[in-house]
Amino acid sequence: MITGLDGFMEYLEHTKGASRNTVVSYRRDLTQFSEYLEGQGIQDIARVTSISLNAYLLHLERQGRSAATVSRVLASIKAYFHYQFREGRVSEDPAELLKAPRVQKKPPAILSVEEIGRLLEAPSKDTAKEIRDKAMLKLLYATGIRVSELICLKVSDLNLAVGFITCRDDRRERTVPFGREAGRAVENYLKEAREQLLKGETSPWLFINCRGKQMSRQGFWKIIKQYAARVGIRTDITPHCLRHSFAAHLLAKGASLQAVQQRLGHVAPANTQMYQDYLVSGVEAGR
């Protein structure tokens, strides 16, 4: 039912400069929205009203979707109808006045320095898999990059001699340094494990799974949960925990907010400020 979806996706990517993850997310949200409308007998976007949209948001809430998820879906719908209105495909924008539910921000999940140490040393066996896992964990914590950036690293993005990686997305590129410990782990992986995992095949990706293919987000999530359980970390850990922990620990060591912002690749300073707020709240709680 959703018409002009491909054109909207091209507009997002090429005109608005949206990231690949954003485009995929918007497409998924709008496809699910389209299926809902068809179930309600609405076949033409010109028939969609603010009442229709409110009913869909209520439907999501009744399904148990979080306020953050509903807000994200609404953002997708608002962007889509704004585009359709601008293109003259609808006479009114039914999503213009809709407001997203208030999202209560949760403090970032941050591991202690001691927990991080246990997690990084959890892969202790000399198998190709555990050598790779140790390299991924240590590089992720040493750089603070996103998991999506980690699994999209190519061998050509790595400079072991100088100690940095190059991260790219659809809009920009940044160089991120890493220390000797992470460098040694990655070097060991390249020498001792990567060829075993490739099994005679070739791949541009730095980190590959046990079938010689590019590592997936889901695959790495399973890896990090496995090692967290192995060393008794009870925090509901996600791959993003290492990024959060990297930022908080760097600030705790005296790094400036601007330096951490640059390392994380944040565009807005407010995105980095939450780590400073976390440290301040921790100090005040301990008084």
Closest CA to 149 of 255, 72, 243: 243
Closest CA to 266 of 236, 244, 237, 249: 244
Query: Which stretches of the chain drop beneath a pLDDT of 70?
Result: 1, 101-108, 169-171, 267-271, 274, 277-287
Closest CA to 48 of 101, 23, 11, 85: 85
- Which pLDDT value is given to residue 286? 35
DSSP string for 73-135: HHHHHHHHHHHHHHTTSSSS-TTTT--PPPPPPPPP----HHHHHHHHT---S-SHHHHHHHH
- Token pair listed for 199: 């099994």
- Which pLDDT value is given to residue 192? 95
CA distance 103 to 114: 32
- Which pLDDT value is given to residue 284? 33
Phi and psi (nearest 5°) for 54?
A: -60, -35
Mention every residue, 6+ apart, whose C-beta is less than 8 A from residue 250: 144, 259, 260, 263
Burial class (CB in 10 A: 0-12, 13-18, 19+), 52: middle
Interior/surface letters 155-177, b for 16+ CB within 10 angstroms, e for the rest: eebbeeeebbbebebeeeebebe
- Which pLDDT value is given to residue 98? 82
Q: Cβ atoms within 10 A of the Cβ of 75, count?
A: 16
pLDDT > 70 in the chain, percent: 89
Helix, strand and coil in the chain, % to nearest 5: 60, 5, 35
Q: How many residues does the chain have?
A: 287
CA distance 272 to 258: 8
Task: Please write the tens of the pLDDT for every residue from 71-113.
Answer: 888 889 999 999 988 888 888 898 888 887 665 566 667 899 9
- Which pLDDT value is given to residue 285? 35
Whole-prediction pTM: 0.64
Is the distance from CB of 279 to CB of 251 less than 8 angstroms? yes
Task: Please write the tens of the pLDDT for every residue from 188-216.
Answer: 999 999 999 999 999 999 999 999 999 99
Phi and psi (nearest 5°) for 175?
A: -105, 130
DSSP classification of residue 206: S
CA distance 132 to 123: 9
- Which pLDDT value is given to residue 171? 64
